[in-house]
Amino acid sequence: MIFVHVDSYAVNATEERKDNFLYTKVTVKGVLHLNVSAKAIAVDTGALLNAPASAIEKNVIIRESKEAVSSNRVSAPARDVTGAYGAELLKIGD
């Protein structure tokens, strides 16, 4: 008998902006952190045969775009946009 347990699961998205002379490149990156453990138990004796654990991190670019540069706009640092990309973040785990 094998039991699988997800110990922790977290996803988030960040938006990074890089200014060029004519445009601003906007990149949205999604990250999935997943910790999983499993237990293999012998059915006839009840003995624990194996208990491996694994940690997974998956980085995915969700969206890239270019925007025209505004002459009076100040460059913004990377920001958390997890709420805005919920549906796309769910696809990372597939």
The DSSP-derived string for 18-32 is EE-SSEEEEEEEEEE
Closest CA to 5 of 30, 31, 41: 41
Residue 77 binned pLDDT confidence (cut-offs 50, 70, 90) = low
Residue 74 pLDDT > 80: no
Q: Check if the beta carbon of residue 41 is closer than 8 Å to that of residue 3.
A: yes
**Which pLDDT does position 76 carry in this prediction?**
58
Question: Stretch 8-14: mean pLDDT, rounded?
Answer: 85
How many C-alpha atoms does 69 have within 13 Å on its Cβ side? 12
Please state the domain extents for the chain: 2-69
Is the pLDDT at 53 greater than 70? The verdict is yes
Q: What is the pLDDT of residue 70?
A: 63
Instruction: Give the DSSP H/E element, type plus range, for residue 87.
Output: helix 86-92
pLDDT at 23: 81
> Can you give the pLDDT at residue 21?
77
